């Protein structure tokens, strides 16, 4: 057994944890990071990065398959084939490069990384159980909890064999002939659409009255239309009650029970904070349901104990965790930093993609604002036409009195790349006139943002 002492101990090496570790090291703080598996956490290893790699594979395969028939571009190819094992190996290579890069950055920042599972003994001390059966003890002045989240398991659909989580969906060796997705949120739709493009017959079962219920119906409309074009069966207002012998039992919106044949059942009904085995019972932390309660400096109710990322609640997004990781390291170093972000952009990597930054129209209304709402469709955008993807739009929500931009949303192919620009506009307090008066490069999809602002001001130029 080894005993270590440090200024900062980070528990969890996901996006929030490794950023906290790197920043703490940059600030000259003696830092140790404990991670049970590979650095990078869920996001880099079995979440954000591999899922987007798989989505890319699916998009390329669908594009190739489309050119086997008549098409407007005049391209003709023979019928393509997909070797999923090869695609998965490429995906794993991307993951390996990124996790290796993170490990290198931690070394550069002089952060010591210990592989093992940490358990609190008290607010300053943890015991780390290592894979070789040995254990270490670490005592720290400041401890950052960054253990992330895990997929929610349904008691009547336990993970194993043909019932898989998103992690299992990213490690399949063969494309399932029939896939049933339980849960119509962003994870279920992203993976369901990807597997549909790769050849699966996909059925999505969602309890709410529509898929992607966290976004308004106007935003999700183009995605719903695309699901139909891909021949994906969507059952809303429906509930899965069990599965047996390759069949999923579903009670539909009318109350009738039906059986859905499925080779694989992908359960994506949400995520919960991962605190199993962490020893929180040995601490005196204030909780917000299952989440650790924090203030605007990521401090918990115990002095010297901080928490960041998914364990602290919604939104469970990697970029939120990263921002918190940087912030908490600054706070520990004595900087006068606090959480004052005006928005956290959210992206749904469906087809088409959805971006939401700031307040959606109904949210702005509930917050008491009288607003101007305007959108500009991609069917009037030259770049969208040249890419054969005219579906979707960009929408701006602004205060009526002073034209301050409260929110920007969009749905369209490749629109995720504009998320940073949307967030920047809101963070800097842009008004409609600021966006309308900024020259937007032509021909780009981004012109639709300027046109939406112009439309809100009453004089769109291209419609």
Give the active site residues: 442
Cα dist from 37 to 75, 118, 209, 245, 414, whole Å: 46, 12, 38, 34, 32
CA–CA dist 85, 66 (Å, integer): 22
Pairing between β-strand 31-35 and β-strand 112-115 as defined by DSSP bridges = parallel
- E strands in 193-328: 201-206, 233-236, 239-244, 247-251, 257-261, 264-267, 271-273, 287-288, 291-292, 305-307
**Which of 223, 232, 224, 166 minimizes the C-alpha distance to 203?**
232
CA–CA dist 99, 102 (Å, integer): 5
CA–CA dist 189, 185 (Å, integer): 6
Tokens representing residue 144 in the block: 């950052």
**Which of 176, 170, 9, 187 minimizes the C-alpha distance to 91?**
170
> Which residues, other chains included, contact 370 with Cβ-Cβ below 8 Å and sequence gap of 6+?
399, 400, 401
CA–CA dist 209, 266 (Å, integer): 20
CA–CA dist 236, 184 (Å, integer): 8
A 10 A CB-CB count for 443 gives 13
DSSP 461: S
**Which of 297, 368, 306, 340 minimizes the C-alpha distance to 123?**
306
**Residues composing the chain:** 463
What is the DSSP secondary-structure string of 102-145? HHHHHHHTT-EEEESEEEESSSSEEEEE-TTS-EEEEEEEEEEE
* Residue bearing tokens 């992330």: 148
CA–CA dist 170, 394 (Å, integer): 31
């Amino acid at each position: 057994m080894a005993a270590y002492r440090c200024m900062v101990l980070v528990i969890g090496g996901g996006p929030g944890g490794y950023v906290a570790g790197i920043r703490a090291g940059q600030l000259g703080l003696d830092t140790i990071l404990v991670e049970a598996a590979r650095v990078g956490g869920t996001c880099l290893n079995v979440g954000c990065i591999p899922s987007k790699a798989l989505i890319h594979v699916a998009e390329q395969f669908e594009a190739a398959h489309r050119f086997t028939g008549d098409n407007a571009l005049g391209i003709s190819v023979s019928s393509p084939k997909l070797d999923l094992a090869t695609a998965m190996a490429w995906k794993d290579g991307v993951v390996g490069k990124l996790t290796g890069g993170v490990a290198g950055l931690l070394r550069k920042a002089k952060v010591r990384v210990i592989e093992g599972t940490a358990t609190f003994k008290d607010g300053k001390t943890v015991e780390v159980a290592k894979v070789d059966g040995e254990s270490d003890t670490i005592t720290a002045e400041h401890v950052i909890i960054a253990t992330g989240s895990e997929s929610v398991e349904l008691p009547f659909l336990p993970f194993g064999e043909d019932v898989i989580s998103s992690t299992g969906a990213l490690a399949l060796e063969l494309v399932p002939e029939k896939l049933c997705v339980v849960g119509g949120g962003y994870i279920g739709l992203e993976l369901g659409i990807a597997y549909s493009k790769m050849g699966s017959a996909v059925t999505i079962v969602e309890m709410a009255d529509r898929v992607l219920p966290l976004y308004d119906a106007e935003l999700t409309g183009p995605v719903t239309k695309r699901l139909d074009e891909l021949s994906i069966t969507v059952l809303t207002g429906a509930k899965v009650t069990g599965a047996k012998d390759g069949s999923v039992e579903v009670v539909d919106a009318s109350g009738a029970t039906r059986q859905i044949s499925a080779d694989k059942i992908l359960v994506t009904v949400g995520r919960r904070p991962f605190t199993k085995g962490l020893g929180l019972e040995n601490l005196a932390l204030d909780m917000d349901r299952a989440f650790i309660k924090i203030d605007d400096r990521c401090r918990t109710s115990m002095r010297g104990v901080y928490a960041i990322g998914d364990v602290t609640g919604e939104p469970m997004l990697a970029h939120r965790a990263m921002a918190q990781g940087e912030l908490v390291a600054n706070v520990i170093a004595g900087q006068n930093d606090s959480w004052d972000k005006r928005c956290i952009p959210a992206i749904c990597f469906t087809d088409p993609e959805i971006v939401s930054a700031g307040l959606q129209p109904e949210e702005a209304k509930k917050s008491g604002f009288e607003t101007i709402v305007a959108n500009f469709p991609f069917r009037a955008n030259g770049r969208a036409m040249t890419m054969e993807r005219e579906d979707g739009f960009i929408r701006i929500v602004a205060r009526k009195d002073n034209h301050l931009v409260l929110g920007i949303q969009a749905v369209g192919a490749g629109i995720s790349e504009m998320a940073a620009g949307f967030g920047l506009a809101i963070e800097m307090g842009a008004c409609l006139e600021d966006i309308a008066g900024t020259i937007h490069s032509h021909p780009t999809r981004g012109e639709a943002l300027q046109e939406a602002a112009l439309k809100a001001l009453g004089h769109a130029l291209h419609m």
